[in-house]
A and B are shown apart, each in its own frame.
Chain A
């Protein structure tokens, strides 16, 4: 089976920051807005290189979303940066009315998503943001898996006209996708070929899925791992083709199983090809303080959890 190498653990937020730096050089319409988290979002280079195109809004996320919507009028492409919690739940109505319903070309870039922001605890660990954003008509929802892919996605969304939610995280995670790879919005990436079980993962759980597939392979189980970086629009064809072959599926995400990738996949399967499915996700709960590894273990989001889910779902075929 095809294997992947982790070149170096890197944070996905740095992929965003480096992508933004590159956009600063190549696209003069790109502007960046931040709500007092420039360092956390890795927006410092853009700010230093293009101070006239960087807007420090202060701790006022609602105002930031509105300003971003207004800046599109006249041709700018605003990238907003703050934590995922403050990028979505805190400003849901502003995004709904001023961005999504008004069809504004705003890129909402959200770091520190999920429980792996760690020690800060549940106030900051949003596990509902994918659901909130995917329910908005016209919103594209992307959750990248590693540094390289986050950088590529940052570049790609500047070329896409329309509102985008780009979700990434705080911790350093495996970096294994190609450097300077292309990023096609809405196009799933098949990472391994397999016949026994499909594993569809998003975010840094893609790496956990690859680790799980290795362990499964040692037990004689061939898993097909698909990286779904775009949750909306969902690559339904890739999912249906894979389950036609494997007959069962595991979805894996750092998000509540209510409203996340898993539910989007379940809808597609229910409509076109009912298939046994297991959900690796948080189960309608808040997070808590801890290290990322401890939290992924406790909340069942690591490779061991994916491996177990794969074995369970195969029994239901």
Chain B
């Protein structure tokens, strides 16, 4: 098991990767990616039981599905640094002939990705399917997912939320990135979500809250608790309160950096706030 310091160092490096990836191609989504860096690092390096080699079926291991595919920079960085593909390949993000498409896809065979996502609201259904197959295969592993809070405005989620509780999909831990922001503004301004906690509970889910979703210890504690609740007949929802753009001061607490890349000067400021820990790719 890595130490907290090692996970924090990795998170800092992942932030550098995110900034450099989106800066190079002057496109991509840094805000949500930065906000979820601690979550991804902790999930892949501390929480999930993973096989070293990637295969699509993923039998005998925990699986993760990213539903809000636009935060691909953090996903790619963490996958690469977990050994699924060479970190140098992060250099090809969003370039022609790359396996690192703007939004994640299986189409070019990138190890670590099991479903395309980007068109929002589809990931929970896919995760339920994978969870059903694990049950049929008597595979006792867990399916993890991540969704944006704004993404819950898509109706398909509520079909899936109803199904997962109604059909006792209890090998499923769905995390909602509660950053309160979406492209056009705050979720309250665009379409108020009300109490997500009460909504999930009303549908029959167990809901846990991680108040400081940008602190590794809090994420470890919350996801470990979530894992312990698996197998009890109910799906588990984790409400992860994060700050969009976390770790780069001028990107924090605003939707402005949802889908905008930093310029040269902004990149330097961001990198200065996140000194190289592991090697840059």
Contact = CB atoms under 8 A, between A and B. Distances in A.
B59 A74 contact: yes
Contacts of B130: 70-71, 73-74
Interface string B263-277: 000000000000000
B129 to A, nearest CB: 2
B196 interface: no
Contacts of A73: 56-58, 63, 114-115, 126, 129-130, 133
Nearest to A64: B125
B280 interface: no
Given A57-B163, A62-B159, A97 B118 contact: yes
A97 B159 contact: no
Contacts of B63: 73
A62 B156 contact: yes
A74 B105 contact: no
Given A74-B59, A74-B139, A98-B126, A66 B133 contact: no
A65 B115 CA distance: 13
A67 B132 contact: yes
A63 B156 contact: yes
A63 B139 contact: no
B126 A70 contact: yes
Contact of B136 (A53, A60, A102): A53
Interface string A43-68: 00000000011010110101111111
Interface size range of chain B in the complex: 35 or more
Interface in B49-86: 56-59, 63, 65
A110 interface: no
B119 A93 contact: yes
Given A52-B136, A94-B156, A66 B59 contact: no
Contact of B132 (A55, A65, A75, A104): A55
Contacts of B128: 63, 66-67, 70
Contacts of B118: 97
Interface size range of chain A in the complex: 20 to 34
B129 A67 contact: yes
B7 interface: no
Interface string B125-154: 111111111101101000000000000000
A63 B123 CA distance: 10
B196 to A, nearest CB: 19
A296 interface: no
Given A66-B156, A67-B163, A73-B114, A101 B107 contact: yes
A103 interface: yes
Nearest to A94: B122
Interface string B73-113: 00000000000000000000000000000000111000000
A103 B109 CA distance: 11
A72 to B, nearest CB: 8
Given A60-B163, A73-B58, A98 B125 contact: yes
Nearest to A91: B156
A63 B107 contact: no
A27 to B, nearest CB: 13
A141 interface: no
A52 to B, nearest CB: 7
Nearest to B69: A97
A74 B137 contact: yes
A57 B166 CA distance: 10
B124 interface: yes
Contacts of A78: 129
A78 B125 CA distance: 14
Contact of B133 (A58, A65, A76, A101): A76
A69 interface: yes
A212 interface: no
Contacts of A68: 129
A57 B169 CA distance: 13
Nearest to B163: A63
A96 B119 CA distance: 10
A73 to B, nearest CB: 5
Contacts of A102: 105-107, 115-116
B59 A98 contact: no
Contacts of B132: 55, 67, 70-71
Nearest to A35: B159
Contacts of A98: 115-116, 122, 125-126
10 contacts: A58-B166, A66-B160, A67-B126, A70-B125, A70-B129, A73-B63, A73-B130, A97-B116, A98-B116, A101-B105
Interface of B: 56-59, 63, 65, 105-107, 114-119, 122-134, 136-137, 139, 155-156, 159-160, 162-163, 166
A-B residue pairs, 6 tightest by C-beta: A70-B129, A66-B125, A74-B133, A60-B159, A63-B159, A70-B126
Given A66-B125, A70-B125, 8 more contacts: A62-B122, A70-B127, A74-B58, A75-B59, A97-B117, A97-B119, A101-B116, A102-B105
